[in-house]
């Protein structure tokens, strides 16, 4: 039963933030937004014992940097975006270290590339129309990095990493579409529920990601 206590606490605090915490005051909102991520990092840390591998520490660092992004984005979209981009780079490098080549998984690059092109095209057009052209390059860079992150997770063959990365892409797709293209019904619920689930799955992947690997 003890092993379920922390996941249940993560679920409870995530639900509390999503459904109960008001938009204002902002410090209260940000504090409760960060609590589930702190718990997720603690959960991930359980898999990093005294003989933890570098890959585990790399991905754990990615979780921490994404948590910083959660706080920064409340004050500055660009700073928050930059933090998440760096976090995805850590995930990308971590997943690449345990890459397991497979032709079917390798071919998923085509689907990811197609999706990335379609959504980035819509975002860039919307951003340009709204007169925010300075955001075009950062957004394109972010789409490229998160797409590579998702592909690298798929190439690990680990179901938890794959599920987490795909949900992360979905969460950010909803967020960016809602922000730049058009309103998405229940956007906050969809964004945060997929986001917390994505981070939890990536954290959980540390328990099996390195099976039969010394990296």
Residue 30 burial (CB < 10 Å; 0-12/13-18/19+)?
Answer: middle
**How confident is the model at residue 211, as a pLDDT?**
74
Helix axes 159-176, 136-156, angle to 10 degrees: 160
Quick one: how far is CA 35 from the chain centroid? 16
The predicted model scores a pTM of 0.94
Q: Given the structure tokens 């948590």, which residue do they identify?
A: 67
Quick one: how far is CA 4 from the chain centroid? 23
- Rounded to whole angstroms, the Cα distance separating 22 from 9 reads 20
Q: Are 37 and 70 in contact (CB under 8 A)?
A: yes
Residues 6+ apart with CB under 8 A from 134: none
Q: Given the structure tokens 């079917």, which residue do they identify?
A: 104
Q: Is 170 helix (H, G, I), strand (E, B) or coil?
A: helix
Provide DSSP, 27-71: HHHHHHHHHHHHHHHHHHHTT--TT--HHHHHHHHHHHHHHHHHH
Q: Which of 197, 210, 201 is nearest to 94 (CA)?
A: 210
For 26, list phi and psi in degrees, rounded to 5. Answer: -60, -45
Give the dihedral of Cα atoms 77, 172, 28, 26; nearest 10 deg: 30
Query: Per-residue confidence of the chain (215 residues) as pLDDT tens digits?
Result: 567 899 999 999 999 999 999 999 999 999 999 999 999 999 999 988 656 688 999 999 999 999 999 999 999 999 999 999 999 999 999 999 998 888 999 999 999 999 999 999 999 999 988 888 899 999 999 999 999 999 999 999 999 999 999 999 999 999 999 999 999 999 999 999 999 999 999 999 998 887 756 57
Domain boundaries, the chain: 2-205
Q: Are 151 and 109 in contact (CB under 8 A)?
A: yes
pLDDT tens, position by position, 38-64: 999 999 999 886 566 889 999 999 999
**How confident is the model at residue 213, as a pLDDT?**
61
Helix (H) / strand (E) containing 171 = helix 159-176
Q: Are 202 and 162 in contact (CB under 8 A)?
A: no
How far from 17 is each of 28, 45, 55, CA to CA, in Å?
10, 23, 30
How far from 28 is each of 20, 23, 82, 139, CA to CA, in Å?
12, 8, 23, 28
């Amino acid at each position: 039963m003890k092993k379920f206590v922390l996941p249940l606490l993560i679920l409870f605090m995530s639900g509390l933030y999503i459904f109960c915490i008001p938009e204002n005051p902002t410090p209260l909102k940000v504090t409760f937004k960060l609590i589930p991520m702190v718990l997720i990092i603690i959960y991930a840390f359980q898999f990093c014992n005294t003989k933890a591998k570098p890959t585990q520490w790399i991905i754990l660092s990615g979780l921490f940097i994404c948590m910083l992004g959660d706080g920064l984005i409340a004050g500055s979209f660009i700073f928050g975006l930059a933090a998440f981009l760096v976090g995805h780079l850590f995930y990308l490098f971590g997943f690449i270290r345990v890459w397991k080549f497979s032709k079917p998984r390798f071919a998923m690059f085509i689907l990811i590339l197609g999706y990335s092109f379609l959504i980035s095209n819509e975002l860039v057009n919307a951003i340009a129309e709204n007169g925010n052209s300075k955001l075009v390059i950062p957004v394109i860079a972010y789409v490229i990095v998160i797409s590579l992150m998702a592909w690298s997770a798929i190439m690990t063959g680990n179901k938890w990493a794959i599920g987490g990365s795909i949900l992360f892409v979905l969460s950010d797709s909803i967020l960016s579409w809602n922000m730049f293209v058009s309103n998405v019904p229940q956007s906050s619920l969809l964004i945060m529920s997929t986001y917390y689930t994505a981070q939890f799955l990536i954290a959980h992947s540390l328990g099996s990601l390195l099976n039969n690997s010394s990296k």
